[in-house]
């Protein structure tokens, strides 16, 4: 007899199959017993009929508890009333292990309790839906870049230089040296972009920040494209295209999951090109007018992102930030050297910054000056300076945070549910 | 005028385009000048004609050096004799930056020199080919699992428990606790497999081993599938299918790169299902007969892998290892509890172990016993034990190392060239 996954059940109508999974739900109604089994790919309702309430099959049924593991054998029948359109006429149930006192019950549980049981919480319908959306977002991102001829270039996690202060870096002993966990693959991307033209890296990044917000993780995944010869304008358009590609994929392929999450999809359907584009100096007075205490030179915080969501019901591109508060490698605006050619994309509905990027300095003298001004150890950047000595070209790139994007797609307010095992301040278990 | 990538040039025959890239090669022949430009996606030959050797275009040409960055404008012409079948009738060259004394010349360089200049070495034709194969292998792996309904579940890098001794682990301070960089996502995969049925994780892993061999990296990428209800046999077949899928993709899509690398493809074309399957106890006497000093309980080293490649010209599956030397979570063989239901796949041609995996213990009592025997801190494994309390099922999985696989595909003997920025013993720059 074939072992069949629930997602493939439609192809087996009329045939006897074996489904392997866990008890999700069961109920009795007169001479009928209903057993809903989950196998990780879907839910399948099985039915049993008997006039004898002590029939052996019913006795087995009676002993099953929530999350007990089972092999269920029976014939697949089309049944419009069943969830998924098919059900199983059960002929045999083989319990694999009877689960006792499964800790997550239909009642409400506290967040600390659920986080402590994250390894089991993952089995719940809502968590399932969020993580399926996550997998789809990741796949969409990779398909987007692969389809446009970008070459995947994995950048290292263990890096020697402490870019700008070590306070938010995880440090480890690397044999006789020190190493730091990467916060971005960008500097390495700049090298591979000069070799391959269009590249991206996509991996975990780390920030040892003692901040406890609903938008930050200690360990999170980021995709970072980098394009030789691209300007700020070019990568702003690239970022828009990426966001639209992700939204389209999620709306097309994961609509059922969004339904489970009760996500109102209208705010996503509404997103179109081009996103409103504003310079930092343009948006500042509007934010202040609405009561924000932001001053020239400040970054946007949650209150400013919330205000932006009042002004616009789509994502917004903010560019031309004060150079003094931005990273040392940012290209200054030609007409305003006090402004940096950087761009942030702020998601709608207060989901915060999902993209940060910009054009990088390609002039050797200027980059050397900035390294001195920022008091960075020059020897650590020798290789990075080489990129400006040997065929330097204007180039640009950005980073998009996966978890922020998933929380936006799913419409969930706390980022901790967008990754299987979140790393938060003081939370590293399980 | 359109900015066109070399890989797309065929679609622009007869049109005037701009190519943006770097000087790869140039030569003169009477009234003709040839300029080969690389833009990261390919090489394009450009030609210029003039009776006047001091023509302005020729003067610009004369000033160009290796790896100078340029914008080259001209008309695309079909030209069968040119590499790629097209060339550019150059009308204008705009130098972006003239490169002086590019350190990597056509002469031979030492490995330490090349590693120190890895950020530039990446531009060389051979390195280019290897890393294109790498990107293809990664994409093949993801397509394989996505296409079979496996759900991507990213597992954490920062983990709390030191599985089995901390000597090969990188340690870091995680706020008030200690954390270790992951060597495998497997334990977490076991939790997500119980939630999603079929899962995989795919990310960087870390081994702080003081070993200096041509098959080991300190930081490397690994894909790890895990399947609920799967047996050792099931995942051995899955591993075979994955290897065949990767080989087929590389042979189909990256043949030109294998040509650049002068890879003899016959050893790859020859690989078919099923791979020879041998128990550890079967192969041991044959290895000893050929002079190996291996004893029952030893793992295979490079000499044993070389001998295996003499016996077989295809990959081999070795299973049923001595349980005492394997990880605590390995399921014992039913008939021989001193043997573990583990499997290694050893690549042909002495490229070493590419897959390691097996069936995991699903019985709670046995797992608790093993945790005691291995003197592991039980509290760190509470969540892992929960998986055996709540709907435990037999399950299996494996890990496939990306870099080993890429070195095999490319036929290169040292693994350091299979990743953009290798992390080796005492090598963390650039």
User: pLDDT for A322-341, tens place per residue?
Assistant: 998 889 999 999 999 999 99
Whether residues A128 and A10 share a domain: the answer is no
Whether residues B157 and B288 share a domain: the answer is yes
- Work out the average pLDDT over A310-333: 95
Tell me which chain A residues have a C-beta less than 8 angstroms from the C-beta of B386.
Answer: 117, 119-120
Tens of pLDDT, residues A130-146: 999 999 999 999 999 99
Interface test with B, best of A145, A159, A199, A390 (most B CBs within 10 A): A390
Tens of pLDDT, residues A358-388: 999 999 999 999 999 999 989 999 999 999 9
A21 within some domain: yes
Contact A391 B67 (CB under 8 A): yes
Q: For residues A361 and A369, what is the distance between their CA atoms, to the nearest angstrom?
A: 11
A374 within some domain: yes
Alpha helices in B207-356 (DSSP H): 232-253, 255-260, 266-269, 280-289, 302-311
pLDDT at residue B69, as a whole number: 98
The secondary structure element, H or E, covering residue A254 is none
Counting the structural domains of chain B, the total is 2
Whether residues A61 and A192 share a domain: the answer is no
Q: For residues B181 and B208, what is the distance between their CA atoms, to the nearest angstrom?
A: 10
B209 within some domain: yes
Measure CB to CB from residue A203 to each of B177, B196, B204 and give the nearest one: B204
Tell me which chain A residues have a C-beta less than 8 angstroms from the C-beta of B191.
Answer: 119-120, 122, 420, 430
- B27: domain CATH number is 2.40.50.140
pLDDT at residue A84, as a whole number: 85
- Whether B287 and B304 have beta carbons less than 8 Å apart is answered as yes
Whether residues A139 and A36 share a domain: the answer is no
Whether residues B202 and B129 share a domain: the answer is yes
**Residue B405 DSSP SS3:** helix
Q: For residues B207 and B289, what is the distance between their CA atoms, to the nearest angstrom?
A: 33
Whether residues B215 and B82 share a domain: the answer is no
Whether residues B88 and B38 share a domain: the answer is yes
Whether residues B289 and B386 share a domain: the answer is yes
The secondary structure element, H or E, covering residue B117 is none
pLDDT at residue B301, as a whole number: 87
- Work out the average pLDDT over B284-304: 92
Q: Which residue among B32, B64, B97 closes a domain?
A: B97
B111 within some domain: no
Cα angle A359, A363, A367; round to 5: 85
pLDDT at residue B267, as a whole number: 98
* Burial degree of A377 (CB within 10 A; 0-12, 13-18, 19+): exposed
Tell me which chain B residues have a C-beta less than 8 angstroms from the C-beta of A179.
Answer: 170, 428
The whole-angstrom distance between residue B168's C-alpha and the CA centroid of its chain comes to 21
Contact A219 B157 (CB under 8 A): yes
- Whether B305 and B214 have beta carbons less than 8 Å apart is answered as no
- Residue A136 C-alpha, separation from nearest chain B C-alpha, in angstroms: 9
Measure CB to CB from residue B391 to each of A22, A156, A430 and give the nearest one: A22
Contact B175 A210 (CB under 8 A): yes
pLDDT at residue B41, as a whole number: 96
pLDDT at residue B128, as a whole number: 96
Whether residues B240 and B176 share a domain: the answer is yes
- Whether B343 and B355 have beta carbons less than 8 Å apart is answered as yes
Measure CB to CB from residue A153 to each of B171, B197, B420 and give the nearest one: B420
Measure CB to CB from residue A122 to each of B21, B135, B191 and give the nearest one: B191
Cα angle B86, B91, B97; round to 5: 95
Q: Which residue among A37, A62, A97 closes a domain?
A: A97
Contact B197 A146 (CB under 8 A): no
Tokens representing B16 are 């005037």
Evaluate if residue A164 carries a pLDDT over 60.
no
pLDDT at residue A162, as a whole number: 61
Q: For residues B124 and B126, what is the distance between their CA atoms, to the nearest angstrom?
A: 6
- Give the β-pairing of B86-97 and B69-78: antiparallel
| Residue B409 Ramachandran class (φ > 0 left, ψ -120 to 50 alpha, else beta) | alpha
Tens of pLDDT, residues B161-209: 765 566 789 999 999 899 999 999 999 999 999 999 999 999 999 999 9
A103 within some domain: no
A112 within some domain: no
- B249: domain CATH number is 3.30.930.10
Residue of A nearest to B196 (CA): A40
Per the structure, the complete domain to which residue A88 belongs is given by: 2-97
Whether residues B262 and B291 share a domain: the answer is yes
Residue of A nearest to B195 (CA): A123
Strand residues in B207-301 grouped as ranges (E): 219-228, 277-279
- Model pTM score: 0.97
Strand residues in B55-176 grouped as ranges (E): 69-78, 86-97, 151-152, 158-159, 171-174
Tens of pLDDT, residues B372-428: 999 998 999 999 999 999 999 999 999 999 999 999 999 999 999 999 999 999 899
A216 within some domain: yes
- Residue A284 C-alpha, separation from nearest chain B C-alpha, in angstroms: 35
Whether residues A90 and A131 share a domain: the answer is no
Tens of pLDDT, residues A176-190: 899 999 999 999 999
Measure CB to CB from residue A67 to each of B118, B191, B391 and give the nearest one: B391
Q: Which of A226, A269, A223 is nearest to A248 (CA)?
A: A269
Which residue, chain included where needed, has tokens 């349980």? B323
Tell me which chain B residues have a C-beta less than 8 angstroms from the C-beta of A224.
Answer: none
Number of cross-chain residue pairs from A and B with Cβ atoms under 8 Å apart: 273
Tell me which chain A residues have a C-beta less than 8 angstroms from the C-beta of B40.
Answer: 151, 193-198, 228
Whether residues B55 and B154 share a domain: the answer is no
A108 within some domain: no
Tens of pLDDT, residues B12-43: 999 999 999 999 999 999 999 999 999 999 99
């Amino acid at each position: 007899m074939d072992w069949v996954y629930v997602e493939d059940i439609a192809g087996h109508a009329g045939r006897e199959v074996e489904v392997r999974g866990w008890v999700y739900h069961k109920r009795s109604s007169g001479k009928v017993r209903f057993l809903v089994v989950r196998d990780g790919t879907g839910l399948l309702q099985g039915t049993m009929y008997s006039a004898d309430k002590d029939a052996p099959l019913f006795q087995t049924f009676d002993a099953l508890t929530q999350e007990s593991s089972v092999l269920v054998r029976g014939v697949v029948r089309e049944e419009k009333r069943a969830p998924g359109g098919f059900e199983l006429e059960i002929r045999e149930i083989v319990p694999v292990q009877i689960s006792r006192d499964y800790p997550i019950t239909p009642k409400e549980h506290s967040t600390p309790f659920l986080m402590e049981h994250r390894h089991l919480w993952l089995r719940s319908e809502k968590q399932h839906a969020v993580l399926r959306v996550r997998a789809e977002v990741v796949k969409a991102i990779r398909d987007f870049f692969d389809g446009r001829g970008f070459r995947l270039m994995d950048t290292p996690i263990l890096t020697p230089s402490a870019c700008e202060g070590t306070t938010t870096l995880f440090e480890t002993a690397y044999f006789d040296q020190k190493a730091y966990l990467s916060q971005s693959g960008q500097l390495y991307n700049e090298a591979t972009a000069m070799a391959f033209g269009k590249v991206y890296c996509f991996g975990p990044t780390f920030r040892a920040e003692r901040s406890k917000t609903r938008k930050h993780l200690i360990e999170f995944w980021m995709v970072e494209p980098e394009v030789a010869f691209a300007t700020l304008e070019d990568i702003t358009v690239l970022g828009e295209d990426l966001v639209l590609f992700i939204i389209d994929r999620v709306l097309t392929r994961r609509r059922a999951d969004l339904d489970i999450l009760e996500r109102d999809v209208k705010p996503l359907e509404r997103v179109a090109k081009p996103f409103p584009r504003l310079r930092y100096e343009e948006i500042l007075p509007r934010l202040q007018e609405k009561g924000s205490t932001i001053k020239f030179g400040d970054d946007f915080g949650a209150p400013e992102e919330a205000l932006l969501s009042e002004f616009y019901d789509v994502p917004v591109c903010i560019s031309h930030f004060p150079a003094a508060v931005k990273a040392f490698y940012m290209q200054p605006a030609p007409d305003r050297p006090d402004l940096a050619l950087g761009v942030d994309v702020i998601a709608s509905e207060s989901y915060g910054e999902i993209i940060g990027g910009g054009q990088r300095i390609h002039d050797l003298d200027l980059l050397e000056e900035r390294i001195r001004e920022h008091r960075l150890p020059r020897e650590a950047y020798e290789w990075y300076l080489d990129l400006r000595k040997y065929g330097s070209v204007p180039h640009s790139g950005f980073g998009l945070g996966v978890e922020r994007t998933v929380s936006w797609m799913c419409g969930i307010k706390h980022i901790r549910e967008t990754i299987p095992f979140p790393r938060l301040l003081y939370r590293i278990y399980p």
